[in-house]
Amino acid sequence: MSDSEFPTPDVDVEGIEPETLKESIDAGEEIFLLDNRVPDDVEEWAIEGENVEVLNVPYFEFLAGEPDEEVFEQLPDDQQIVTLCAKGESSEYVAGQLIERGYDAAHLENGMQGWARVFEYKEIDADSDATIAQYQRPSSGCMSYLVVSGDEAAVVDPLRAFTDTYQQDARALGADLKYAIDTHVHADHVSGVRALADEGVEGILPAAAVERGVTYDDAVTQAEDGDVFEVGDVDIETVFTPGHTSGMTSYLVDDAVLLTGDGLFAESVARPDLEGGDEGAPDAARQLYESLQERVLAHDDSVIVGGAHFSDAAETADDGTYTATIGELKETMDALTMDEDEFVELVLSDMPPRPANYEEVIGTNLGQEDQTDEEAFELELGPNNCAASSDAMTSD
């Protein structure tokens, strides 16, 4: 049964906007979610939080009559129940059924697809005259960055689904986008560099990333190690850091913030198998070790690191961003103090499942496959899984 075929509830059902739900979670409110998707979907991708309780009861149990009484025994009668599904239709029906039984229930507008549209702006407290902001997508853990100085701006690792957001936020800060920069060929989301380049923004890709088979190389600038791009009064310096991919590149903003893409995160390091597969992963892991030791950790301990992803294991800094200084990472992340063999063994020991549709996403970002905006959005739904497992990465 498609969403459009679900019966209309006989009672009024309140719809909760995804942004409102995120605000409630961040405020520490106790949230009870009744997830009406099938168990496999919930296991792969769900809304989580220390103050979030989730009960999974597929919608078809309500369509078939009523679930077993033990289901209702697990529902709270002293707080609101928020139902959710993939797109928002079946959950509205389920919420209506609960209301008819006397529960306080509402449903998540547009379901998990609506949740995937939540995109939050947080400014990094950095020693820079530029405004350096981190965008956080809680549904997948993807992050990108806006750098604004004077009347110029650059976006690093833009997502195609949010190209309008970057443009609007830059203008709100009195600037126009000058550059759209990728750190590498992403495997978990569709890049916005090409779309922004089509709108007149200068697109920048690492030269080594272009060598993987980018078909639109004539429409972008290729960045080599050491290249500098000026944004207003600040410089963005190219720092080649291969390992996660052969083209992985970091960007040092105003000697204050190092944007490491998928090379290094606040709670983990990159997985090395998305380009060369299992066979090429050991060599890539050794290359990653060299990049981290010689190209990343060689910077001053006060430099702030901002990766392109965060996981459930990550904690925010005081400014609300998923960042940490190089000095803090050296102290807390065991993987950064190991010798090479130990590092490689750890990184390869417990990698999570590969990102959903990653081969199609890579093909799209190379320009070898075409996707409409809606198709691109559907491709990247779900967790990013671009990091090695964070379970053994940090010290207690």
Residues 84-95: pLDDT tens digits? 999 998 999 999
Asked whether the predicted pLDDT for residue 354 surpasses 90, the reply is no
**Domain 3-115 listed as CATH 2.30.30.100:** no
Q: Worst-scoring range by mean pLDDT, 46-55, 63-72, 107-116, 156-165?
A: 63-72
Candidates 34, 46, 85, 154; catalytic one: 85
The answer to whether the CB of 146 falls within 8 A of the CB of 165 is no
120 contacts 22 by C-beta, under 8 angstroms: yes
Q: What are the residue boundaries of the structural domains of the chain, listed by start?
A: 3-115, 120-379
Report the C-alpha gap between 38 and 128 in whole angstroms. Answer: 47
Q: Which fold has domain 120-379?
A: Metallo-beta-lactamase; Chain A (3.60.15)
pLDDT of residue 196: 98
Q: Which of 166, 111, 120 is nearest to 142 (CA)?
A: 120
Q: For residue range 311-352, what is the model confidence (pLDDT) as tens digits?
A: 888 899 999 999 999 999 999 999 999 999 999 999 999 788
Residue 103 in contact with residue 77, Cβ under 8 Å? yes
Which residues pair with residue 175 across a beta bridge? Answer: none
CA–CA distance, 135 with 75 (Å, rounded to integer) = 35
Per-residue confidence band for 66, with pLDDT thresholds at 50, 70 and 90: confident
Catalytic-residue membership of 85: yes
* Token couple for 77: 């009668």
The whole-angstrom separation of Cα 359 and Cα 115 is 24
pTM confidence score: 0.93
